[in-house]
């Protein structure tokens, strides 16, 4: 169904107008329900177009003054204060028109978080209920799930004493980019993943979500706040993670701030899709409206554009073929975009894209653009996307499992070379460069991982540098350096060892999950069944099948390497066995990834957030007022410096 805007002037009769209003109301209700349940069907730009059209045709329509949906799977709880939605400004001109109407002496400006709204209901400082947005008046009671989330406080404490507060505290449940990438990359975006987890009946995965707060209001008639900044500072003192805010004294300052935030948003750990601009003075009667008038959502510049799909290229990564869409150039957030990954054949088919069709390209604060929707106009110019049937390297018939298209030939040159490069990267053989690996592979000297460990300085020297101007002794020294690097990387954890084999579905972090589940030796991993793998958190049936098949395929070489060449350090033997670390801020002597590698190599694990079971928070600013430092203090977690961390690690 086309959602393109109707030209209001072309609605020739009241009957046409009435029919269109009815159609728009039905569409908006449908898309609102799917959006708030984490199953968005259309892009934000398409939804906004429908909303604006209905507003122009019927500004008093009831749909425009209601929000959200509920799931039907939880007990329903009424909000303390209606949870409305905001007026929108899509550009500086619309914002200036709103600002001119109100002429505030000061504007309080906050990030507009792109997550799922949640109302925490407290009685005398104790958390009683956590309620989703729902329809704006009534939402789902997900208290049990919320108690597992980072940032949800069971008791309000200030200066060590329980705060006698009865009322609501609102925030946005978000999933950080690092959590999404590590655990939920199969979900379209952080918002959808967060929505799905918070509505799970068993609550599994909610510990990976974070609540960022932005509002508080009493229900006992006291209303302790008259100023928005005062309210945010109070939330912060209670221990909540709060939304960043800025006080601006003129509309142009707000516009300039918006531009600066747009520039840095890709560096943030969570998604934002605009700013919320409010009057600094709190007016509760306005806040209680379904669509408050004294605040506005100042959206970022268009991050969605419509283009035409011209072709699909197939990128080969190892033995896996990934479809890449090539479309007419569009400008997104100041960047020219012409390509976007389609992930796999299943995703491509689910989108329904065809050569010649229109596509909605999005870039929601992410660096990598993607196609969100296909628009079909039945013009007769569209054609199906051809899917390759044979490997372009070895000629073998490709296997199409839907979730991946790959070459099944384990002797395919592309697959072997990719595995060799993966091993060097994961195991961190620093002086063995990509070009040298390719040269050794093409010569036939290195055709499997084990071959790295039989290389000698004498046979490596001719491969090292081909330029005649390089003296023989320098070539020999370079070769010796490479051999030394190879020999230095023979002791490693089971997770690093397995991840180095480039098995789809088993990266280092996912292997750590298997180890934690009891598959903590190579023999146990290799004897693991698909059913056992699927029972481990983070492994669905399809991924379990791929992982187990990959382990079987590489079992012989794994056993050979582990029988004498490589020493696998058991997790129980590590200095950091059972310890968890979180790194925050800038490190001086190494990159964060290197520090995390030290932890894993010593049997420990790393977290991206501060939780009650964390062993250490590592930061070079131990006196910082950051949310992570505050949480560490709240939970009694030791905060140590980089130097102290290295001392613990024996470095």
Query: Is residue 395 in some structural domain?
Result: no
Please give the annotated binding residues for NAD(+), written as ranges.
44-48, 85-86, 110, 133, 172, 278, 299
In Å, how far are 43, 413, 546 from 530, measured between CA atoms? 37, 28, 9
Q: Please check whether residues 99 and 139 belong to one and the same domain.
A: yes
User: In this predicted model, what pLDDT tens digit does every residue of 494-511 receive, in sequence order?
Assistant: 988 999 999 987 887 788
Q: Tell the burial category of 571 from Cβ atoms under 10 Å away from its Cβ (0-12, 13-18, 19+).
A: buried
% the chain with pLDDT above 90: 39
Residues near 160 by beta carbon (within 8 Å), at least 6 away in sequence: none
pLDDT, position 469: 39
CATH number at residue 41: 1.10.287
Residue 539 near residue 547, CB atoms below 8 Å = yes
116-123 sheet: strands from edge to edge: 126-132, 116-123, 167-174, 210-218
Indicate whether 548 pLDDT > 60.
Answer: yes
**Interatomic CA distance for residues 598 and 46, integer angstroms:** 47
Domain boundary among 251, 273, 299: 299
When divided into structural domains, the chain yields a total of 6
**pLDDT level of residue 262 (50, 70, 90 thresholds):** confident
The 3-class SS string of 349-399 reads HHHCCCECCEEEEECCCCCCCEEEEEECCCCCCCECCCCCCECCCCCCECE
Phi/psi for 357 (5° steps) reads -85, 160
Of 445, 452, 518, the closest CA to residue 485 belongs to 452
Looking at residue 155, the DSSP 8-state letter turns out to be: B
The 3-class SS string of 518-538 reads CCCCHHHHHCCCHHHHHCCCC
Q: Please check whether residues 290 and 325 belong to one and the same domain.
A: no
Query: Is residue 403 in some structural domain?
Result: no
Residues near 180 by beta carbon (within 8 Å), at least 6 away in sequence: 187, 189, 190, 193
Of 88, 81, 64, 91, the closest CA to residue 117 belongs to 81
**pLDDT level of residue 6 (50, 70, 90 thresholds):** very low
Q: Please check whether residues 455 and 337 belong to one and the same domain.
A: no
Of 432, 473, 435, the closest CA to residue 455 belongs to 432
Q: Please check whether residues 233 and 255 belong to one and the same domain.
A: yes
Please give the annotated binding residues, written as ranges.
44-48, 85-86, 110, 133, 172, 278, 299, 391, 394, 407, 412
Indicate whether 621 pLDDT > 90.
Answer: no
Q: Please check whether residues 255 and 113 belong to one and the same domain.
A: yes
Element (H, E) at 110: strand 107-113
User: In this predicted model, what pLDDT tens digit does every residue of 414-453 receive, in sequence order?
Assistant: 999 999 999 998 887 878 888 899 999 999 999 999 999 9
Q: Please check whether residues 203 and 89 belong to one and the same domain.
A: yes
**Interatomic CA distance for residues 365 and 129, integer angstroms:** 32
**Interatomic CA distance for residues 584 and 619, integer angstroms:** 5
The answer to whether the pTM exceeds 0.75 is no
Q: Please check whether residues 584 and 621 belong to one and the same domain.
A: yes
Query: Is residue 365 in some structural domain?
Result: yes
Element (H, E) at 533: helix 530-534
Q: Which two tokens stand for residue 392?
A: 């372009």
Measured distance between the N- and C-terminal CA atoms of the chain, rounded to whole angstroms: 63
Of 392, 366, 402, 372, the closest CA to residue 309 belongs to 372
- What's the rounded mean pLDDT across residues 53-62? 73
User: In this predicted model, what pLDDT tens digit does every residue of 176-191 receive, in sequence order?
Assistant: 999 988 888 767 678 8
Domain boundary among 489, 510, 541: 489
Which residue among the candidates 76, 88, 101, 112 is catalytic per the annotation? 112
**Interatomic CA distance for residues 282 and 82, integer angstroms:** 16
Query: Is residue 117 in some structural domain?
Result: yes
- Relative to beta strand 161-162, strand 157-158 is antiparallel
Q: Please check whether residues 567 and 586 belong to one and the same domain.
A: no
Of 609, 606, 605, 599, the closest CA to residue 629 belongs to 609
Residue 500 near residue 427, CB atoms below 8 Å = yes
CATH number at residue 607: 3.40.50.10190
Q: Please check whether residues 190 and 336 belong to one and the same domain.
A: no
- What's the rounded mean pLDDT across residues 625-649? 86
Q: Please check whether residues 185 and 285 belong to one and the same domain.
A: yes
**Which domain does 273 fall in, by range?**
76-299
CATH number at residue 191: 3.30.470.30
Query: Is residue 515 in some structural domain?
Result: yes
Q: Please check whether residues 611 and 644 belong to one and the same domain.
A: yes
**pLDDT level of residue 62 (50, 70, 90 thresholds):** low
- What's the rounded mean pLDDT across residues 622-626? 80
Q: Annotated catalytic, 112? A: yes
Domain boundary among 299, 326, 356: 299
Query: Is residue 100 in some structural domain?
Result: yes
Q: Please check whether residues 552 and 608 belong to one and the same domain.
A: no
Query: Is residue 402 in some structural domain?
Result: no
pLDDT, position 466: 54
Looking at residue 85, the DSSP 8-state letter turns out to be: -
Query: Is residue 400 in some structural domain?
Result: no
- What's the rounded mean pLDDT across residues 85-114? 90
């Amino acid at each position: 169904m086309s959602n393109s805007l109707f030209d209001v002037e072309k609605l020739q009769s009241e009957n046409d107008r009435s029919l269109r209003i009815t159609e728009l109301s039905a569409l908006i209700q449908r898309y609102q329900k799917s959006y708030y349940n984490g199953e968005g069907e259309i892009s934000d730009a398409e939804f906004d177009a429908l909303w604006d059209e209905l507003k122009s045709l019927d500004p008093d329509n009831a749909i425009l003054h209601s929000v959200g949906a509920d799931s039907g799977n939880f007990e329903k709880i009424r909000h303390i204060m209606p949870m409305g939605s905001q007026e929108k400004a899509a550009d500086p001109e619309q914002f200036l028109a709103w600002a001119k109407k109100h002429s505030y002496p000061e504007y309080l400006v906050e990030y507009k978080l792109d997550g799922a709204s949640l109302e925490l209901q407290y009685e005398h400082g104790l958390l009683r209920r956590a309620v989703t947005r729902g329809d704006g008046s009534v939402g789902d009671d997900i208290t049990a799930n919320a108690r597992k989330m980072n940032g949800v406080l069971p008791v309000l404490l200030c200066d060590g004493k329980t705060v006698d507060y009865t009322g609501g505290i609102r925030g946005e449940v978000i999933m950080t980019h690092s959590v999404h990438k590590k655990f939920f990359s199969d979900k379209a975006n952080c918002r959808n993943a967060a929505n799905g987890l918070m509505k799970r009946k068993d609550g599994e995965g909610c510990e990976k979500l974070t609540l960022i707060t932005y509002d508080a209001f009493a229900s006992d008639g006291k209303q302790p706040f008259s100023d928005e900044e005062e309210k945010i500072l109070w939330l912060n003192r209670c221990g909540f993670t709060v939304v960043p805010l800025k006080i601006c004294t003129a509309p142009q300052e707000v516009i300039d701030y918006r531009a600066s935030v747009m520039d840095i948003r890709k560096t943030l750990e969570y998604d934002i899709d605009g700013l919320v601009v409010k009057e600094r003075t709190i007016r509760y009667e306005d806040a209680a409206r379904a669509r408050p008038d004294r605040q506005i959502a100042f959206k970022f510049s268009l991050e969605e554009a419509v283009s035409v799909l011209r072709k699909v290229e197939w990128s080969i990564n190892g033995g896996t073929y990934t479809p890449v869409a090539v479309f007419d150039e569009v400008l997104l957030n100041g960047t020219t975009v012409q390509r976007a990954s389609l992930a796999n054949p299943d995703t491509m088919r689910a989108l329904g894209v065809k050569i010649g069709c229109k596509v909605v390209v999005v870039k929601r604060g992410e660096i990598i653009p993607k196609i969100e929707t296909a628009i079909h106009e039945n013009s007769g110019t569209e054609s199906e996307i051809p899917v390759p049937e044979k490997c372009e390297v070895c000629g073998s018939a490709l296997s199409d499992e839907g979730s991946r298209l790959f070459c099944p030939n384990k002797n395919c040159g592309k697959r072997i070379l990719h595995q060799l490069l993966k091993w060097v990267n994961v195991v961190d053989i620093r002086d063995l460069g990509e070009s040298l690996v390719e040269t050794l592979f093409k010569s036939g000297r290195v055709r499997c991982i084990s071959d790295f460990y039989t290389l000698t300085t004498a046979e490596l020297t001719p491969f090292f540098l081909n330029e005649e101007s390089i003296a023989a002794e320098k070539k020999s020294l370079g070769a010796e350096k490479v051999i030394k690097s190879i020999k230095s990387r023979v002791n490693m954890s089971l997770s690093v060892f397995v991840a180095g084999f480039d098995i789809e579905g088993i990266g280092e972090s996912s292997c750590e999950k298997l180890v934690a589940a009891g598959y903590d030796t190579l023999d146990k991993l290799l004897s693991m069944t698909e059913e056992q793998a699927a029972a481990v958190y983070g492994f669905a049936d399809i991924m379990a099948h791929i992982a187990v098949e990959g382990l079987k395929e590489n079992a012989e070489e794994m056993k050979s390497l582990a029988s004498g060449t490589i020493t696998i350090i058991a997790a129980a033997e590590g200095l950091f066995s059972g310890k968890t670390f979180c790194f925050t801020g800038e490190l001086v002597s190494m990159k964060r990834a290197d520090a995390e590698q030290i932890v894993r190599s010593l049997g420990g694990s790393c977290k991206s957030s501060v939780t009650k079971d964390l062993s250490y928070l590592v930061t070079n600013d131990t006196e910082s007022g950051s949310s992570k430092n505050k949480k560490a203090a709240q939970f009694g977690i030791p905060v140590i410096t980089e130097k102290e961390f290295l001392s613990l690690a024996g470095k």
